[in-house]
Chain A
Amino acid sequence: MTTAVLEEPRVGDGDLAGLVATLTERAVRARRLVVDMAASPRGCHLGGSLSVLDILIAALHRASAGDGTEVVLSKGHAAAGLYAALHVSGVLPENPAPLYGLAGHPYTGHPGPKVPGVRFPTGSLGHGVPYAAGWALSQRLRGRHGLGVAVAGDGELQEGLVWETCQVAAAQQLGNFVLVVDRNGGQNDGMVADISPLPRLAERFAAFGFDVTEADGHDLRALTDLLAEDRSAARKPLAVVADTVKGKGVRAVEGKPGCHYVTIDQARAAKWKRAIR
């Protein structure tokens, strides 16, 4: 996800508020696209797609700098969110919403490398984290400063591969590896806290040898600042534990575990889209 088509406003070139406004406008458009995909015959993973959108938009903005930063959505079930974010960020030229889940088009329920801007197949949870770590390692070996950014769900952290990779990334001092956790508190069968809780998550990453930051996962200014960091001299990977709301932006479903996978009709979609601000 390194190709930018749109003119990207840059922090430092002047108007931080303008940048945030641009990213906010993208987030609104992307949320409406996600709702459109929920209104497709297939439905989509609505809750997680909406919770992760701001993170993806901020990360894609970072990647647009062309420094070799790669963003990997490890929680691949949020494919609808990814497709929408790629589109509004200018990486994916065509509007994926009308094509989502259809034969002859690459917009499957979990993303694969046939989608412009997607390098790795994700959906089987955990794999995106080492993909991004490997990318970061490649950048470092080449003397480049790009980041490998993995965006994982909090439920996904139940996968052993995530922690296996954290162990490796810390041992290899991959300072340009960033793991952003979309902590929306939900997973397929219910709440993370009820199924397999993750207490003291920030401390866990710190114990592995990560730099750790907790953030509001819907604060585009904060996320942009965090991801703009020059980590070329860092020796510790960075974990960003981003608190989010499942279903963020659609009041009818916000915070409800039942919005994990949703299929709605066109009338409801229209209503929800009008309410997204």
Chain B
Amino acid sequence: MSLTDERAGVLPAGVPETASGDAAGALAGERPQGTAGARPGLRAGTRPVASADERTVVSADGGPVVSADERPLAPAGPAPLTDERPLAPAGPAPLTDERPDAPAGPAPLTDQRPVTLSGRDAYRDELTRLAASDDTIVCLEADLGGKGHPFQAAHPERFLNLGIAEGAMVDMAAGLAAGGHKPFVSTFAPFAALRAAESLKLTLGYLAAGVTVVAPYAGVSGAWFGTTHHCLEDLAILRSVPGVTIAAPYGDTEMRAVVREAVRSGRPHYIRTGRNATYESLPALGDELPLVNWEFRAGPEDVCLVSVGEEGTRLALAARRAVPGTAHAHLVYLDHEHLTEAAAELARHHARFVVVEEHRGQGGVAEALALLLPSCRVTSVSADRSWPSQGGDHEEVMAALGLDLPAVLEALDRASTTSTASAGRPTN
């Protein structure tokens, strides 16, 4: 079920206008939001990150720069709004999906780590760091790695831009893995999960090759680039391929932990991330990410938000600011095996769940949890079945699909008013 913004501007009953951290509001980024007369948390939630300072990244020379996402939406002069690199960039950095040019020389590897990076930049940075002590790691791109990839700077002999050839890239990764390498391949989610779908089935699934696919531009993070650059179907595809570890990390810290685990385990991974948005990481939980990251557990009768992925988690955090005291469980790993265990843990504490995910409802995590938890009530806040055909930023395109804070709040409201008698009881 996808909920629409019918209740925009209407507060759920009993919601204070100013949210405050509740007993378990320990997540970084949790902060009071509301402004009188406005929906608490709504505006704050309309940016991918909670505050401007969180979006500041630090350049290699230590000076603050802004990420590409933060550049003015209408910079002086024409800005190419395509995914092609400008042939001759001049003046202000263009609003493309490419990274800013990297500084000359190797990227800083560890201690100079920026405060927080976007998912794909955190991946690149972490893999570059890991490859310094593991010469079997190779990094493959299909012309969407951007200029100045840190892996290329640090390990040029093991960085291969294979060109616009996603299927060949995934299959060649299978060959590399058979030869003893640990290939990490990356291209936008629509091209990885859909164009190269058969290669993923064979390489990650049937062969169980130690190949990791990192897929930025998942969901509609491609926003105004249009439907060809959106991917609301990848979880449905990858979840149906046995043996693939699927992760949708939120924030720099989780991404790095997932990448480390992919290297360590040697298992096939599909890692879903967005474009350039940065998110304040959840509190560090050590290298081993929990199956269920409980931000807050409420009483067994209470509805529990289940957040998936970057934007699902952002919306859940915003909803918690709007409705303090809401239970919230965050999931990183989304494949059938992990979800089966996570579902059991969820059901030990709650019986009603609202799953927030930037994916189609069909084949998404809510559907999976509903099957895994037949005695519980699982509601989905997910993309509807339309095709975004207009521009807009990431949030605007999500909203057009019914994925926004009002939708989450309405789903919470509906789930809260559902009779517990019809919702099953927590099992323990």
Contact = CB atoms under 8 A, between A and B. Distances in A.
Leading 10 A-B pairs by shortest Cβ distance: A134-B175, A138-B179, A134-B172, A130-B171, A135-B175, A164-B168, A165-B168, A130-B168, A164-B165, A138-B176
Interface string A64-103: 0000001000000000000000000000000000000000
Interface stretch (A41-49, A118-126, A228-236): A118-126
Interface stretch (B42-50, B155-163, B251-259): B155-163
Interface size class of B (residues with CB under 8 A): 20 to 34
Contact of A171 (B163, B173, B180): B163
A207 interface: no
B174 interface: yes
B199 to A, nearest CB: 7
B241 to A, nearest CB: 13
A134 B176 CA distance: 5
Given A137-B179, A167-B168, 13 more contacts: A113-B207, A120-B175, A131-B174, A133-B175, A134-B172, A134-B176, A136-B175, A137-B172, A137-B176, A138-B180, A161-B171, A164-B167, A171-B163
Given A113-B207, A133-B172, A172 B178 contact: no
Given A134-B173, A134-B174, A161-B167, A127 B202 contact: yes
Nearest to B209: A120
A2 B102 CA distance: 43
A172 B160 contact: yes
22 contacts: A112-B206, A120-B207, A126-B167, A127-B198, A130-B168, A131-B175, A135-B178, A137-B175, A137-B179, A138-B178, A141-B138, A141-B157, A142-B179, A148-B175, A161-B167, A161-B171, A164-B165, A164-B168, A167-B165, A167-B168, A168-B169, A172-B160
Nearest to B171: A130
A139 interface: yes
- Name the prevailing secondary structure of the B interface residues: helix
Given A124-B202, A127-B199, A172-B162, A138 B175 contact: yes
A121 B207 CA distance: 7
Nearest to A128: B171
A56 interface: no
A127 B181 contact: no
A121 B205 CA distance: 11
B165 A121 contact: no
Interface in B166-206: 167-169, 171-181, 183, 198-199, 202, 206
A136 B207 CA distance: 18
Contact of A168 (B158, B163, B177, B180): B163
A142 B178 CA distance: 13
A167 B164 CA distance: 10
B226 to A, nearest CB: 23
A266 B362 CA distance: 51
Contacts of B171: 127, 129-131, 133-134, 161, 165
A171 B140 CA distance: 14
A8 B242 CA distance: 40
Contacts of B181: 138, 141
Contacts of B177: 134
- Name the prevailing secondary structure of the A interface residues: helix
Interface size class of A (residues with CB under 8 A): 20 to 34
Contacts of B174: 120, 130-131, 134
Contacts of A135: 175-176, 178-179
Interface in B315-348: none
A165 B167 CA distance: 9
B183 to A, nearest CB: 8
A60 interface: no
A59 interface: no
A132 interface: yes
A171 B162 CA distance: 8
Contacts of B176: 134-135, 137-138, 141
Contacts of A124: 198, 202
Contacts of B158: 141
B166 to A, nearest CB: 9
Contacts of A119: 178
Interface in B224-245: none
Contacts of A138: 175-176, 178-181
Contacts of B157: 141
Nearest to A127: B171
A70 B167 CA distance: 20
Interface string A173-195: 00000000000000000000000
Contacts of A165: 165, 168, 171-172
Contacts of A134: 171-179, 183
Contacts of B168: 130, 133, 161, 164-165, 167-168
Interface in A127-163: 127, 129-139, 141-142, 148, 161
A139 B176 CA distance: 8
Contact of B202 (A121, A141, A148): A121
Nearest to B201: A124
